[in-house]
Amino acid sequence: GQNIDQPTEMTATEGAIVQINCTYQTSGFNGLFWYQQHAGEAPTFLSYNVLDGLEEKGRFSSFLSRSKGYSYLLLKELQMKDSASYLCAVEDSNYQLIWGAGTKLIIKP
């Protein structure tokens, strides 16, 4: 079966760094996406990885290891507005996105 695993909830402090992990088992792999979703809103795109390694985009970075079926999203210099759910999604061999349940990130002052 296809499976995406993420922690359900994480708490971090404003100004700190947090790493959100995602492990996956899917039928085929065509890329991995991270999306951000604020409560009551639609998901919005954060990052895309298809090759192993780190992709950096401002305060956010995403890492991929295809051999380990593993990715992480790294958020630096946390701000209160970063309080949201972070969704990991893998594109399978049918070019469909398989989504994790999301990690709710709580930022405390």
Distance in Å, CB of 19 to another protein, minimum: 20
Q: Is 39 in the site for another protein (CB under 8 A)?
A: no
Distance CA 73, CA 21 (A): 7
Straight-line distance from the first to the last Cα atom of the chain, in angstroms, rounded to the nearest whole number: 40
In the list 22, 24, 26, 33, the residue contacting another protein (rule: CB under 8 A) is 33
Tell me the number of residues near another protein by CB under 8 A. Answer: 22
How many other C-beta atoms can be found within 10 angstroms of the C-beta atom of residue 100? Answer: 20
CA angle 49/55/61 to nearest 5° reads: 110
**Contact region with another protein (CB under 8 A), list: 9-17, 58-66, 75-83, 94-102:** 94-102
Give me the residues that bind another protein (CB under 8 A), please: 4, 30-31, 33, 41-45, 48, 50, 87, 89, 91, 95-102
